[in-house]
Amino acid sequence: MDIQFLGTGAGMPAKTRNVTSIALRLLEERGAVWLFDCGEATQHQILHTTIKPRKIEKIFITHMHGDHIYGLPGLLGSRSFQAGEEKLEIYGPKGIAEYIESSLRLSRTYVNYPINIHEIEEGLIFEDSQFTVEAKLLEHGIPSYGYRIREKDTAGPLLVDDLQSIGVKPGPLYKKLKEGETVILEDGRILNGRDFLGPEKQGKIVTILGDTRICRKSEELAADADVLVHEATFGVADEALAYEYYHSTTSQAAKIAVRANVKKLILTHISARYQGNEADILLKEARDLFENTFVAADFSQYSI
């Protein structure tokens, strides 16, 4: 599992940072990429990565501001020009369906794959055998969601050596034991599968937040996460501006990381006012409170 930043700027594109989009690369886990937000020119950024648009299985929109959605119609259209007709699921706030519908209709864009649009509310918005995704509303003036992506724990491996040492040979029984069932051997012995499984593999937790002021819900979504992606539109000196515009500072993001006990904090949505090595100052401000912090750049990638 990797996370790759396609755009790390705030509000408007700049030469060095495009507007927001983040790819959660689940290629090993499910041969798919999940996108979080899709600012203008996200499809252009993707051209410079190894991501194939048709591998994008889900798109989660945090909020309806233009710098988070204006790349959606173009990406949906271009995805249609590739082989394959894999379904696409889109999750986002109320309004996202009308935005997509009107943009595609007015531009006469007919895609060759099904699109399911889910206008979400707080709570569990997706679950399958591998993952759950939970959403909560943050504080941004307009509805802005944070997402907690949780990979399910997977059962440990069957302890084959232990079974053979007590004389249980490989066969159909092994399958039942691996699933944790209780079986009765021909000699009358009763074995509980759970006694023959190695330790569970713990699933990863990734928390990706939309634009927000520092708030309690961020902390809840990020609890014990392996990675927290938090906006840091401003540096510490501009805390008043951050509050006024419903954004966060570096150190506010770090506070959430500390309180939520996350393993790694990645800052994004950096205002264009911070150029070149000013990003180092932002990084230092956050690291003063939470050591394992990084400031994302466009195209930077972190394994999880």
Detail the residues annotated as belonging to a binding site for Zn(2+).
Answer: 63, 65, 67-68, 140, 211, 269
* Catalytic residue check, 67: yes
136-175 residues in contact with its own copies (CB under 8 A) are: 142
Per-residue binding letters, 170-209, with its own copies (x by CB under 8 A): ----------------------------------------
**182 to each of 109, 177, 178, how far by Cα in Å?**
55, 7, 10
Residue 44, binding choice from Zn ion, its own copies, none, Cβ under 5 to 8 Å by partner class: its own copies
Contact call for residues 41 and 55 (beta carbons, < 8 A): no
Q: How far is the CB of 269 from Zn ion (least distance, A)?
A: 6
Burial of 250 (0-12, 13-18, 19+ CB in 10 A): buried
Which of 57, 86, 89, 103 touches its own copies by CB under 8 A?
Answer: 103
| Dihedral sign computed on CA atoms, order 68, 146, 266, 59 | negative
Cα angle 74, 78, 82; round to 5? 165
Residue 285, binding choice from its own copies, Zn ion, none, Cβ under 5 to 8 Å by partner class: none
Which of 37, 134, 211, 285 touches Zn ion by CB under 5 A?
Answer: 211
Q: Is 40 one of the binding residues for its own copies (CB under 8 A)?
A: yes
Residue 99, binding choice from its own copies, Zn ion, none, Cβ under 5 to 8 Å by partner class: its own copies
68-97 residues in contact with Zn ion (CB under 5 A) are: none
Residue 77, binding choice from its own copies, Zn ion, none, Cβ under 5 to 8 Å by partner class: its own copies
Question: Active site residue: 37, 67, 238, 298, which one?
Answer: 67
Spatial CB neighbours of 19, under 8 Å, sequence gap ≥ 6? 7, 9, 10, 11, 12, 13, 39, 40, 41, 67, 68, 70, 71
Q: Is 37 one of the binding residues for Zn ion (CB under 5 A)?
A: no
Q: What is the DSSP letter of 196?
A: G
Rounded CA separation 36/149 (Å):
11
Rounded CA separation 285/281 (Å):
6
Residue 198, binding choice from Zn ion, its own copies, none, Cβ under 5 to 8 Å by partner class: none
CB closer to Zn ion, 15 vs 108 = 108
Task: Pick the piece of the chain touching Zn ion (CB under 5 A) from 177-185, 208-216, 236-244, 246-254.
Answer: 208-216
Q: Which candidate, 264, 282, 269, 268, places its Cα nearest to that of 228?
A: 264
Rounded CA separation 111/84 (Å):
11
Instruction: Find where tokens 């040492």 sit.
Output: 165
**Antiparallel, parallel or unpaired: β 123-127 and 131-137:** antiparallel
Task: Pick the piece of the chain touching Zn ion (CB under 5 A) from 71-79, 151-159, 194-202, 210-218.
Answer: 210-218
Q: What is the DSSP letter of 153?
A: P
Which of 40, 67, 134, 151 touches Zn ion by CB under 5 A?
Answer: 67
Which of 50, 107, 112, 116 touches its own copies by CB under 8 A?
Answer: 107
Q: Which candidate, 209, 259, 193, 256, places its Cα nearest to that of 60?
A: 209
Q: Is 43 one of the binding residues for its own copies (CB under 8 A)?
A: yes
Q: How far is the CB of 67 from Zn ion (least distance, A)?
A: 4
Contact residues: its own copies, CB under 8 A: 11-15, 18, 40-41, 43-44, 47-48, 64-67, 69-71, 73-74, 77-78, 81, 95, 98-99, 102-103, 106-109, 142
Catalytic residues: 67
Contact residues: Zn ion, CB under 5 A: 67, 211
